[in-house]
Structure 1
Amino acid sequence: MTPTVAPYGEWKSPIDVNFITSSTVSISNLLKHEGTGALYWGELSGATNGRTTIMTRSAEGVTSELTPEPFHARSRVHEYGGGTFTLGSDFLISSNDVDSRLYKVNLATKETTPLTPENKAWRYADIEIHPSEKFLICVREDHTEDTPQTVINTLVVVRLDTKEPNVEILAEGADFYSAPRFNPANPSEFAYYSWNHPFMTWDHTQLYYNHLDISDASIKVASQTLLAGDDKNNEESTNQPRFAKDGTLYFINDKTGFWNLYSYKAGGKPELVLSQPMEAEFQDPAWRFAGRSYYPLKSDCTKIACSYIKNGVYNLAVIDAKTKTLQDIPTEFQTIKSIYASTDGQDDILLLDVGSYNIPAQIISYNLHTRAYEVLMKSSTVEVPKGWISKPESLTFKSTGGRVAYALYYPPTNADYVAPEGTLPPLRVLSHGGPTGAYASDLNWSINYFTSRGFGCVAVNYGGSTGYGRAFRNSLRTKWGVIDVDDCSAAATYLVERGDVDGNKLAIVGGSAGGYSTLACLAFRDVFKAGVSHYGIGDLEVLAKDTHKFELLYPESLIGPYPAARDLYLERSPLYSADKITCPCAFFQGAEDKVVPPNQAELMVNALKKRGLPVAYVLFEGEGHGFRIPKNVKAALQGEVSFLGRIFGFTPFDAVPIDIINEDAISK
């Protein structure tokens, strides 16, 4: 069949908004009950309308919902959550976002029993049940005085052996706590890590090894040992403590410059699991609780299945802690983001969250003996022909000052269409959030929504991104609004000079911190012809004054201490350089966003509106930081493609026009 000739941006595509919202499922926190073989996971889809429910599948393959409406298995600790539920012998413990309480859910009857008092100011996450099943330890975030400076984080004990809700503080004093984990070989021992402002989890944390005094009357910490992260070295991040069944504590630490795996046995000293450190990252940044990038094998806990990132690429491997060696396991997958070790008879089985540019995120059961795998569940229920999926090209390019930056370029891809000869596609330059984060080569439906319509998309891993070691990550320190802006601009220029895209049709797009980089690119560089900010930051001073506790002092490392560096905050704020912005911009914002409140978008919208620039503003009620409700996900995609079509002079086939203030100025 001869492809139809049509302008870039006007190609018809089967990847439409209904496809994305109705056929895609977000799967999280997969757990296996080792006694029954049943699987449990959190599921968010179009059918749940923004609600995360807990699903279960029996060993025989029967799937059912464990927590029907209105139960909402979500935690808002740190606003990003994670670690929402965990398994016991015949029950499950989960946070319920409806009232913020912890509930005990009977696995057989699905009956739910509240474990914590009625108090919506208390939020719970990262739950660890004691082997006796008489109590659990978890993180509690107290919003009784709900300002970033007065929110209190603690580790608490929740009794499971009392009729009335019973919560006691176990550890307090640090600004943040994470990952309480019991030692199965000695249940009176547990580990956790904590940290204090102004650090983030990837900057500096402290790992503690603790002995508990357990009695019917109380549960207290009897003694404590600091294993990693003393205050003499603020360049050491420790995450993901996990005990093996023999009592060995494993954890990830980056004191060598990369997140590598370490081990500790009581009475000894922490040591690197491999004979030499690798220049590779054995985890992603801990934005959310309960990361799981490695897991000791069930058959032999001196062998650890792991995922590591080298030069932005994920790899699956098994480490032998006895021989201190690593064996790579080749797979067809390009992302491996969660690992859980189990068994099937005599074979070790890995439950993996995997994906690739052309494979939707899915959970597989991978047999380490046979090297075969079975797909257990997929994030997409529809198979899309390969002719509509864009294959990313890995880019390494020079930026300002000779620095190297990285990106993934997704060219326009549609089996049914070609563009007129002599024309080049528009380009969406994507700036990731965080800014401590990174793009990976997984199947991104929103990117393919645009590439299948004739857009090029380049996802930039600018200086500060993870996956390239601490030095690259730290390159953004005090340089936010400079390094990221340089690298996003350089990515666009690189593709223009290479002849891939139209230099007159360059758009910069980003969400959250990526939304800030988007607005900063428009204010401080003359490269882009349009911008799209999803819950982005326009006023850094407002961010310093009005955000949540988790990121309260994050800007100190990115810009400088406030208010001492107030002039720098103003200098790098797009709001105070709005007079330098000369191109149209669209804003999409959640009305209930606590991380980047709506006033950030509204300040920018008003400033650009007064200058007579074309500007669109879409506020979504019921949404927080990121869009979950299907109708809003649809509106954001259709609104953006319609906006860019209006700016660049084409009409997308499924455009739903949005209101553009000063629209008459577009043609000028």
Structure 2
Amino acid sequence: MELDSGRHEPLTDGDSSIIEPRWARDGALYYLDDRAGWWQLYRQAGDSSVRICDYPADIGRPPWQLAQAHHVNARDDGTIAVSVDSARCSLVDIRPSGRVRNIEVQEVDITQLQVRGDDVWYLGSREDRPAAICRVDTDRGTTERVVDEGACPDPDCVSRPEPVMASGPQGIVHGHLYRPCCPGTRGPGDRPPPLVVRAHGGPTAMRSPAWNPEVQFWTGHGIAVVEVNYGGSSGHGRSYRERLRRRWGIADRDDCICMAKTLAAEGLCDIQEMFIAGNSAGGLTVLNALRHSDLFRAGLCRWAVTDLARLATLTHRFERGYLDFLVGDRKTSASCYAERSPAAHAHEITAPVLLIQGDADRIVPVSQATAMADAMTVNGGKAELHIYPGEGHGLRRAENIRSAAETELAFVRGLIEHQGSG
């Protein structure tokens, strides 16, 4: 913080994470600090820093996208904020006295708070419908969806999230299970449904229980999905995020494996028909899980990280130094970078892998996907690589998004049918 004298004083001693500093109408600086175990709202005025409230959940989440806003100064010097508890968002009104009032909203993923007059606006998604621009009348305490992203899906075809937990090596692992739910779609006889275990990217991001067309695509074709918020994910407090410190490639891998085992043991999926999927950092999780477990029939990777040392040199400036937290210093932890990089251990992967990749990706170059596929094939594995011209780190064109989804479904169905015929 810069004082009137021109001196600079830190807001933290370096042992906590501070995000989203904002000047308020009263001239004070408001920010989020996780020193108490959750990101909480603090107010800095002069030399005094005070925690506004003691709230047992995070306010906000990691700023992996620019211009996110999870707290705004509203009328009467109050603060409207996004509370994140078990990856589920809600809206709260925090008064200067520290009193917290819940604002009734149906959205479970909320971001981009903005204030205009007495109204608060945000981008929010529900469990059963896509994102919309929403308005909160803070005087009346009412909310409305002003601009919807698209038509609402048929409620009879929407699979709703069910919170699930598993016991992992570092404690309880959280996730959301989506069961197949679509009239006219039949499962494989009396057997439990196949399962796709999805590892999110980030890797310190999270999967909220908001409506996701990729998830609904699978459940609409008779395949269950579990979104795993493995150790290190946000939305569960600081100690949960700290599980990934120096353990990326291990904690995420183990938590996805134990979640799959738990769901199979509870009869919620077919243990013979489990698949694991992930994008970017989640792709690293997929490949490492296949290296260390024979639980999954196959892996589905989109623009997967395969070489950690190379990622550290290629990643954009916004995430520079990120791997020091996730893996360690590259010089002193070189062996960790090598051990957790699937590119150096392709011979250990025997399950089939489908790789989706854009040829204009600057974070994970197409050469990495090609080298991974070639190395697996040379070592007797099965790798199927699909490259999309002009696409970067993520698919943007509608026709390519559709193509990738259909390719993955055909890949999984082919393995299931082959198992059934065998």
TM range (shorter): over 0.9
Q: How far off is 1:650 after superposition? A: 7.5
Q: Deviations over 1:537-579 (max 9, x none)?
A: 1222322343333334322222221132222222222222222
SS at match of 2:222: coil
Aligned to 1:234: 14
CA distance in 2, matches of 1:517, 1:349: 42
Match in the other structure for 1:307? 82
Pick closer, same or farther for the CA change 1:357–1:223 going to 2, 3 Å: same
The answer to whether structure 1 residue 363 and structure 2 residue 133 are counterparts is: yes
The change in CA–CA distance for 1:340 and 1:614 in structure 2 (over 3 A counts) is: same
CA distance in 1 between partners of 2:90 and 2:256 (Å): 27
- RMSD in angstroms over aligned alpha carbons? 2.0
- Deviation of the 1:455 alpha carbon: 0.7
In structure 1, the partner of 2:304 is 536
| One-letter identity of the residue aligned with 1:447 | V
Q: Which residue in the other structure is 2:69 paired with?
A: 292
Aligned mate of 1:455, from 223, 231, 234: 223
1:248 aligns with 2:28: yes
Q: 1:264 aligns with which of 36, 40, 44?
A: 44
Alignment of 1:313-324 (within 5 A): 313-321=88-96, 323-324=97-98
Does structure 1 conserve the Cα–Cα contact (< 8 Å) formed by 2:67 and 2:112?
no
CA contact (8 A) 1:587 1:601 kept: yes
- The letter of the residue matching 2:11 is A
- TM-score normalised to structure 2 length: 0.95
Is 1:273–2:49 an aligned residue pair? Answer: no
Give the distance between the partners of 2:269 and 2:366, measured in 1 at CA: 33
CA distance in 2, matches of 1:435, 1:330: 30
- Match status 1:225 vs 2:2: no
Which of 394, 406, 410 pairs up with 1:638?
406
* Aligned amino acid, residue 152 of structure 2: E
SS in 1 for 2:6: strand
**Using the alignment, how far apart are the partners of 1:447 and 1:641 within structure 2?**
12
Whichever residue aligns with residue 308 of structure 1, its letter is S
The worse-fitting range, judged by mean Cα deviation, of 412-421 and 390-399 is: 412-421
Distance 1:547 1:492 in 2: 31
* Equivalent AA in structure 2 for residue 357 of structure 1: E
Matches within 5 A, 1:368-447: 368-380=138-150, 382-400=151-169, 403-419=171-187, 421-447=189-215
SS of the residue 2:14 aligns to: coil
The structure that has the greater radius of gyration is: 1
Equivalent position amino acid for 1:244 in 2? A
Cα deviations by residue, 1:133-191 (Å, 9 ceiling, x for unpaired): xxxxxxxxxxxxxxxxxxxxxxxxxxxxxxxxxxxxxxxxxxxxxxxxxxxxxxxxxxx
The question of whether the paired residues in 1 share the 8 Å contact of 2:19 and 2:32 is answered with: yes
Deviations 1:40-88 (A, max 9, x none): xxxxxxxxxxxxxxxxxxxxxxxxxxxxxxxxxxxxxxxxxxxxxxxxx
The letter of the residue matching 2:324 is E
- CA distance in 2: counterparts of 1:365 and 1:278, whole angstroms: 24
How far residue 396 of structure 1 moved from its aligned partner, in angstroms, is: 1.8
Question: For 1:597, which of 361, 365, 374 is the aligned residue?
Answer: 365
Return the offset for 1:400: 2.4
- Work out the CA distance in 1 between the residues paired with 2:371 and 2:336: 19
> Quick one: structure 1 residues 421 and 582, their matched pair in 2 at CA, closer, same or farther if it must change by over 3 Å?
same
Letter in 2 for 1:246: D
Given the alignment, which residue of 350, 356, 365 partners 1:588? 356
Residue type matched to 1:303 in 2?
Answer: G
Per the alignment, residue 106 of structure 2 pairs with 332
Secondary structure at the aligned position of 1:541 is classed as helix
Task: Give the fraction of aligned pairs with identical amino acids, expressed as a percent.
Answer: 29
The aligned amino acid for 2:44 is Y
Q: Which residue of 2 aligns with 1:606?
A: 374
In the alignment, what sits opposite 2:121?
A: 351
In 2, distance between residues paired with 1:437 and 1:253? 17
Please list the CA deviations of residues 405-446 of structure 1 after superposition, one character each: whole Å capped at 9, or x if unmatched: 100000001022333542221111000111111100111011
Displacement of 1:358 in angstroms is 0.3
Q: CA deviation at 1:259?
A: 0.7
Residues 109-143 of structure 1: per-residue CA shift (max 9 Å, x gap): xxxxxxxxxxxxxxxxxxxxxxxxxxxxxxxxxxx
SS of the aligned residue for 1:327 comes to: strand
| Alpha-carbon distance in structure 2 between the residues aligned to 1:339 and 1:545 | 34
Distance in 2, matches of 1:209 and 1:288, equals 25
1:547–1:597 contact (8 Å) kept in structure 2: no
Aligned length: 422
2:59 alignment partner, SS class: coil
CA drift at 1:331: 2.2
Measured after TM superposition, the shift of residue 352 of structure 1 is 2.0
When structure 1 is superposed on structure 2, of 365-374 and 603-612 the one drifting more is 365-374
CA distance in 1 between counterparts of 2:60 and 2:84 reads 7
Unaligned residue ranges in structure 1 (runs of 5+): 1-207, 212-221, 652-665
> Contact 1:478 / 1:558 at 8 angstroms: preserved in 2?
yes
Name the one with the larger strand percent. 1
Say whether the 8 Å CA contact 1:609–1:615 is kept in structure 2.
yes
Q: How many angstroms does 1:241 deviate by? A: 1.5
The structural deviation recorded for 1:478 is 1.3
The Cα shift of 1:210 comes to: 5.6
Partners of 1:511 and 1:536 within 8 A in 2: yes
- On the 8 A contact 2:108/2:125 being kept in 1, the answer is yes
Q: What amino acid sits opposite 1:573 in the alignment?
A: S
Deviation digits for residues 634-666 of structure 1 (CA, Å, limit 9, x no counterpart): 121111111111122189xxxxxxxxxxxxxx9
Q: Matched residue of 2:192: which SS?
A: coil
Runs of 4+ in structure 1 displaced over 6 angstroms?
A: none
* AA at the equivalent of 1:592: A
> Using the alignment, how far apart are the partners of 2:140 and 2:21 within structure 1?
29
Partner letter of residue 408 of structure 2? E
- Deviation of 1:588 after TM superposition, in Å, equals 0.7
Q: Does the Cα contact within 8 Å between 2:350 and 2:380 map onto a contact in 1?
A: no
| Code of the aligned partner of 1:379 | E
Q: Distance in 1 between matches of 2:284 and 2:181?
A: 29
**Contact in 2 for aligned 1:281/1:310 (Cα 8 Å):** yes
